[in-house]
Structure 1
Amino acid sequence: MKDGGNLAMHAMIDGYHKAGWQVHLLSMNTTRHRVRSELLNKVFAHLQGFSWVDMDNEVTMGGVLKNFFFSTEPEHVQRFHTEEFETKLVEVLKDFRPDAVQIESVYLTTYLPAIHKHSSAVTVLRVHNVEYQIWQGMAGKTKNVLKKYYFNSLAERVRNYERKAWKDYDLLLAITEKDAQLIHRLEDVARVIMAPFTIEADKVRPPVQEEQWAGYHIGAMDWMPNKDGMRWFLHKVWPKVHKAAPGFRFYFAGRHMGTEFLETKLNGVKCEGEVEDADAFIADKKILIVPLLSGGGIRVKILEAMAQGKIVISTSKGIKGIEARSEEHYLRANSPEHFAKWIKWCMENKDAARKISENARALVLEKYERGKVMSIITEEVDYLVKIRKHH
């Protein structure tokens, strides 16, 4: 449970289970996020069933070029489709006989024909992001001509693919209200409801008494928006922050931390690499810094930070999808000057800054509590299942 996507999927699995559903999880154990079998055997022992297929999903230049020249589908689709996984899927469908099948990535829509052939299950797609927007954003940010051309081409492929895919499901679970509205605007889909990341109120760690007024960021550095955002923050933002608030300290951590970050030598900045305990890394620091310039979906780490009483300073892109207002629940910063301004303000106005963090915590517990959200989702899925069985 070390990145936002994993946490979001785990919240959904756990939510169905606690709502009284029998759940079988079929997972891809990929090379990029490999977990040892002996650990996997312990993780979901409480579910009705848990199985996985080891999969090589490494990005290769040969695979990218072959896809670019000889296919109209996004490269992701081909990279995540294997006969071995489809065979296991069919086996689970026949044995478990689910009333509903939920898929956690639009790129796995290639398995829908097998699902329809071997079951009568209601099909649900969790829309973590409107994917083409991520690649459009990447194209807009890069100055490299070849990269820009490739990202634009990929964005178009993904857009065509996901718009067609949305119409193939009985229900779409959009992670933000804006994504739900965009899907409705682009395509005539059956049903869309909002299903944001959720927080278990009784498991939220209360704020630490002696937090240091320091900044932190934690995120997987094999995700390009995280990498680009951190580069921008260190090279463009930090010099202005350090000048405005010389005593402010910033710590960042995450998986797959490249050498360029591990070797950071900036006054007041420390790269921790991959940390063993993310909660411990976060616990004693007061201010979450979110310098995202691209990407979609909802920032799991922001909701967790808000629930823990942290102060969030984020770009508009970073806060996207969270029903929060700047200067009431968080502080919006879209430029180096704004980051420097708000960090300096927090250091000089700690009582006022704490009030913002208290407002944010109340917002999350009201709108993103897991039990409330899951009751809406399970009611909708159950309704569709009953209609399917009736017919």
Structure 2
Amino acid sequence: MNILQICNKPPFPAVDGGAIAMNNTTQGLLNNGHQVTVLAITTPKHPVVYDNLSKEYLESTNFQSVFIDTSIRLRDAFFNLFTKKSYNIERFISVNFTKQIQKILIKEKFDVIIIESLFVSPYIPTIKSLSKAKVVLRAHNVEHKIWERISKNTKNPIKKKYITLLAKRLKNFEIEVLETIDGIAAMTKVDENDFKNLGFKKKITAIPTGYIINTEEIDNKSVEENSVFHIASMDWLPNIEGVDWFLHNVWPRINKAETNATLYLAGREMPDSYFNLNLPRVRVIGKVKSAKDFYLSKKIMIVPVLSGSGMRIKIIEGMALGKVIISTTIGAEGINCTSGKNIIIADNPEDFAKAVCMCLEDQNYCNEIGNNAKNLIASEYSNDQISKKMILFFEDLKASD
């Protein structure tokens, strides 16, 4: 098959969960003998540096990009209030990106066009006018659901009202998009059911993100005892919300237990306010050179997500590297894991703190859960397995003509 993959950010280098998911899709399709053209939006937060892209990647993907300034502007956000449009989506609309899609589709025919996330779906009418390819939404999240959950957890009444409006408009747009696509590859079964409940009646399946397993990546690096860590892209609101909840509600309990634990906060786009924290035994690292090296150097991984949707790629990464992970139910949503076997689930501050303390005290318990987690990824989430599911879904869509 000849496939066009349209991305809301550069998939490579894979600097965050969304980019990892997109790049793993690209590599899986290429490794199975299919042609892939990658067209990406680049933004101030997600620029593309062509010097960092290998010649092999550029040639194998025919990589192309268009810059869109998606920066949030108070003036634009204010005037958007007097429309019925989603400001989250409007920021990704560009005449130049439309022209690039037209140029590609006039030049070449495709069997399948992957829309990577809701944020590139405004270009579907242009695609449909020029191509007979099957259009598949690769839904990384149910976008409005994230904002509904954030609104539920927001205490400031003015902020809560605005976030509720954003969620409502996103939901309306999401429902409209469902009428224009041929199929959905959702990240999780939960998301699949959500889309069905929104009225989607065409072909849909749940296909999680695969993990490209490297058997040589786990070596005998020394692990810092009594270390707890969080790593994530800190330009995503649910990550900030979860870290704040952990710092204010969970970490004080752990300190009272006199565990001598040290908490490390890492990730790109770390807000300046975190570097000014004056909390006992908290080390703010920010962006790390190698996420895998950072994972492997620390002991206990926390994923305190309170309002996400879709699938946490960082959990898949941590599991593949044999880490013991403590997460909320929402954080682990969509992953076929079992609390107490290959992950630990804790949804309130007391249980979360107890789980961290238990892992600090019992190395055998940590090792057992980490090993079980690694085995889960190897058996169910290898990128080759996941890619074959995606290809079968595309072939089924094509056969439905």
Q: TM-score normalized by structure 2? A: 0.92
> Aligned to 2:263, which of 250, 264, 272?
250
> 2:49 maps to which residue?
36
Can you give the 5+ residue segments of structure 1 that lack an aligned partner in the other structure?
none
Q: Is the Cα–Cα contact under 8 Å of residues 77 and 107 in structure 1 kept in the other structure?
A: yes
> 1:343 maps to which residue?
356
Q: Is the Cα–Cα contact under 8 Å of residues 212 and 286 in structure 1 kept in the other structure?
A: yes
Deviation at 1:325, TM superposition (A): 1.1
**How far apart are the structure 1 equivalents of 2:295 and 2:142?**
29
What SS is found at the alignment partner of 2:80? Answer: helix
Deviation at 1:341, TM superposition (A): 0.8
For 2:336, give the aligned amino acid: E
> Aligned to 2:39, which of 26, 46, 51?
26
| Mapping for residues 37-186 of structure 1, pairs under 5 Å | 37-40=50-53, 42=55, 44-70=57-83, 72-186=84-198
2:330 counterpart of 1:317: yes
Please say which of residues 83-92 and 33-42 is displaced more in the overlay.
Answer: 33-42
Q: Is the Cα–Cα contact under 8 Å of residues 259 and 357 in structure 2 kept in the other structure?
A: no
Q: Which whole-Å deviations, capped at 9, do the CAs of 1:116-143 have from their partners, x for residues lacking one?
A: 1111111010010011111111111111
Deviation at 1:211, TM superposition (A): 1.7
Q: Would the alpha carbon gap of residues 387 and 320 (structure 1) be closer, same or farther in structure 2, given more than 3 Å must change? A: closer
Please say which of residues 264-273 and 18-27 is displaced more in the overlay.
Answer: 264-273
2:237 counterpart of 1:224: yes
Q: Number of aligned pairs?
A: 387
Higher helix content, 1 or 2: 1
Deviation at 1:5, TM superposition (A): 0.8
For 1:54, give the aligned amino acid: F
Q: Is the Cα–Cα contact under 8 Å of residues 244 and 340 in structure 1 kept in the other structure?
A: no
Q: Is the Cα–Cα contact under 8 Å of residues 298 and 320 in structure 1 kept in the other structure?
A: yes
Please say which of residues 127-136 and 269-278 is displaced more in the overlay.
Answer: 269-278
For 1:78, give the aligned amino acid: E
**How far apart are the structure 2 equivalents of 1:200 and 1:46?**
21
**How far apart are the structure 1 equivalents of 2:161 and 2:277?**
31
> Aligned to 2:222, which of 187, 193, 210?
210
Deviation at 1:101, TM superposition (A): 0.5
What SS is found at the alignment partner of 1:24? Answer: strand
**How far apart are the structure 1 equivalents of 2:216 and 2:23?**
16
> 2:272 maps to which residue?
259
Can you give the 5+ residue segments of structure 2 that lack an aligned partner in the other structure?
1-13
> Aligned to 1:358, which of 351, 357, 371?
371
2:318 counterpart of 1:302: no
What SS is found at the alignment partner of 1:97? Answer: coil
Deviation at 1:166, TM superposition (A): 2.0
Deviation at 1:210, TM superposition (A): 2.7
What SS is found at the alignment partner of 2:58? Answer: coil
**How far apart are the structure 2 equivalents of 1:68 and 1:237?**
37
Q: Which whole-Å deviations, capped at 9, do the CAs of 1:15-64 have from their partners, x for residues lacking one?
A: 11111111100111111211234334747224241111111110111111
Q: Would the alpha carbon gap of residues 210 and 385 (structure 1) be closer, same or farther in structure 2, given more than 3 Å must change? A: same
Give the aligned CA root-mean-square deviation in angstroms. Answer: 1.6
**How far apart are the structure 2 equivalents of 1:129 and 1:288?**
23
What SS is found at the alignment partner of 1:373? Answer: helix
